[in-house]
Structure 1
Amino acid sequence: MAWTDERVDLLKKLWAEGLSASQIASKMGGVTRNAVIGKVHRLGLSGRATPAKPQRGRINEGTRAAAPRSFAAPKKTFEADENEPEFLEPLVLDGGDMATVSTLNKNMCKWPVGDPTSEEFHFCGQSAQSGKPYCAYHAHMAFQPSHTTRKERPRPQQRILAQRKVG
């Protein structure tokens, strides 16, 4: 469809009356809403935004400065756990050395202390709980209880096997 002078004049008239692009398209026939919007844009017709209504009863208090933004995350506080075992300083071996990989045995806490690339790197070395690699304090830190719903939920492999038995 070509935009003839008559159709452009009709478009300008309907646009000036305040009709929407959809209404103009349906009245003109043979054009889409998007075609009307494109032609209005190319013709540079006004956007017809309605002027803002003045607000009643508002007192102009002047402009206020914006509150300064804080980009730091709020500090989290944690309450002490009543069941948390007492912290024990890392064990110092005979001769003043700390527990290292070569001095650890199965009854010593294997919790790493410090930067592994540093010469001061060592392990806790306190007495480990039986069957666990850590002392009571570090075991409490390492082994967090999981949600019961997660434990009760069957794993994907278990679901597949259960479906095969049913089907």
Structure 2
Amino acid sequence: MTDLTHIDDNGRARMVDVSAKPVTNRIARASGHLICQAETLTAVSEGRTPKGAVLSTAELAGIMGAKRTAELVPLCHPLPLSNVVVAIEADPRLPGFSIVAEVGTSGQTGVEMEALTAVSIAALTLFDMLKAIDRSMEIGAIRVDAKTGGATGDWIR
């Protein structure tokens, strides 16, 4: 009926069977940003925010998000992640924060969704922690930048 991998012949949603795929080392990198007022960026860099350690809390939230991707995205496989790194950097050119996540596993399916989830949850946490001082913030440009491993091989944006 369709070439869509997550739809069966009867049009029902399904999780793709990856049991026949070989286990390979897989890494995905995703990025995004949160744009804010210059004053908000300054408040974070000077440690003057009402909710405390904004960047480290958002980085930790991103790691937790990657680990829970299968609970949040209905047809994602639960994966044993071997590595999750989330880095948030102040970027005065935006002004705001750039967010990068890298996720790794040895498995039968990729970790792009986990990397995207890590960036998304980190951005949402930044927004939550800063909304008391800046309601005009904007989350954007969330995308996969690179992936390695699997049948399709390596890909870089």
Shorter-chain TM range is under 0.3
Greater Rg over alpha carbons, structure: 1
Superposition TM-score, scaled by structure 1 size: 0.19
